[in-house]
């Protein structure tokens, strides 16, 4: 039986999962060990140089503009420490390799990775990257040949695509990085992790703006899925994502 799915329903079904799964390798001690073996003094500097390395040899403020939700002095400190090891582009390639390794280690049971990749690549390559600098940099990196590693890399691309769209919505609503963090769930906890120092500003009056940010982000991602996949392909993609979720080790 052929299942069709509206674009908004697909967005609602997969976005939270991609956000969670796509960050797993960033938080895994195995990724920090890859950085340590290459000469990075700590996992955080490898994170900043690796995730931002696809932007090229740029000033830390460019990385801050692409990340946004971290304290700006922290971005500069970690970026400059990280790129001193082997440069931005090599850091970016090494970090992508860490994602590939994580995918192979944790998604080996995903039998339909090849078909997932076919549909995910349709989505990824359909996007006009204007205003989406970090996603554009990632998409320019070569994808791995291994189907499972490729599937996980594509998950990280879709995560970063939504993240870039989200930043655009935050800026359009006039929120700063710290305001966006604090108005999210567990805001104070994440503000501390992201390097912001207390006392934090009162952001209770910004709840409506934050709600609009989430709505706009969801709508724009739905637009992406609507333009790139047919209703039948969207139904198939949702089923494949459910299979991937069940396969995560």
pLDDT in tens, 47-93: 999 999 999 999 999 999 999 999 999 999 999 999 999 999 999 99
Q: What is the domain partition of the chain in residue ranges?
A: 7-247
Please report the pLDDT score of residue 72 as a whole number.
Answer: 98
Percent of the chain predicted with pLDDT > 70? 99
**Tell me, what DSSP letter sits at residue 205?**
G
What is the mean predicted confidence (pLDDT) over 19-23?
A: 98
What is the mean predicted confidence (pLDDT) over 222-239?
A: 98
Helix crossing, 60-67 with 72-86: angle to 10°?
120
d(CA 241, CA 155): 10
Contacts with 171 (C-beta within 8 Å, 6 or more apart), sequence order: none
Please report the pLDDT score of residue 1 as a whole number.
Answer: 59
d(CA 112, CA 132): 29
Residues in the chain: 249
Share the mean pLDDT of the chain. 97
Radius of gyration for the chain, computed over Cα atoms and rounded to the nearest angstrom: 18
H runs (alpha helix) in the chain: 7-21, 24-27, 29-37, 43-52, 60-67, 72-86, 88-106, 113-126, 133-139, 147-172, 177-182, 187-193, 207-228, 231-247
Whether the per-residue pLDDT at 228 is higher than 90: the answer is yes
Whether the per-residue pLDDT at 107 is higher than 70: the answer is yes
The owner of tokens 């805001």 is 187
Please report the pLDDT score of residue 177 as a whole number.
Answer: 97
Decide: helix, strand or coil at residue 23.
coil
Whether the per-residue pLDDT at 2 is higher than 70: the answer is no
d(CA 145, CA 117): 11
Percent of the chain predicted with pLDDT > 90? 99
Contacts with 122 (C-beta within 8 Å, 6 or more apart), sequence order: 228, 229, 233
pLDDT in tens, 141-151: 999 999 999 99
Q: For the purposes of burial, counting CB atoms within 10 Å of the CB of 181, is it exposed (0-12), middle (13-18) or buried (19 or more)?
A: buried
Whether the per-residue pLDDT at 115 is higher than 90: the answer is yes
- 141-148 contacts, C-beta under 8 A, 24 or more apart: 141/54, 141/92, 141/93, 141/96, 144/100, 146/100, 146/104, 147/113, 147/114, 147/117, 148/103, 148/104, 148/107, 148/108, 148/110, 148/113
pLDDT in tens, 116-143: 999 999 999 999 999 999 999 999 999 9
């Amino acid at each position: 039986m052929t299942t069709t799915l509206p674009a908004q329903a697909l967005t609602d079904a997969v976005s939270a999962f991609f956000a969670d799964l796509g960050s797993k390798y960033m938080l895994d001690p195995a990724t920090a060990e890859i950085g340590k073996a290459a000469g990075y003094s700590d996992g955080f500097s490898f994170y900043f140089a690796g995730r931002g390395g696809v932007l090229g040899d740029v000033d830390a403020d460019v990385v801050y503009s692409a990340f946004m939700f971290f304290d700006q002095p922290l971005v500069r400190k970690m970026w400059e420490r990280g790129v001193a090891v082997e440069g931005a582009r090599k850091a970016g390639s090494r970090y992508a390799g860490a994602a590939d390794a994580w995918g192979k280690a944790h998604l080996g049971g995903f039998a339909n990775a090849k078909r997932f990749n076919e549909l995910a690549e349709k989505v990824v390559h359909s996007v006009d990257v204007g205003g989406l600098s970090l996603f554009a940099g990632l998409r320019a990196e070569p994808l791995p040949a291994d189907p499972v590693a490729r599937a996980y890399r594509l998950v990280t691309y879709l995560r970063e695509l939504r993240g870039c769209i989200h930043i655009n919505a935050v800026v359009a609503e006039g929120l700063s990085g710290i305001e966006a963090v604090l108005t999210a769930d567990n805001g104070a906890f994440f503000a501390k992790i992201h390097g912001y120092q207390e006392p934090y500003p009162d952001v209770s009056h910004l709840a409506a703006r934050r709600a609009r940010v989430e709505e706009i982000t969801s709508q724009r991602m739905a637009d992406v899925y609507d333009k790139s996949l047919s209703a039948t392909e969207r139904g198939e993609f949702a089923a494949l994502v459910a299979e991937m979720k069940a396969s995560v080790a």
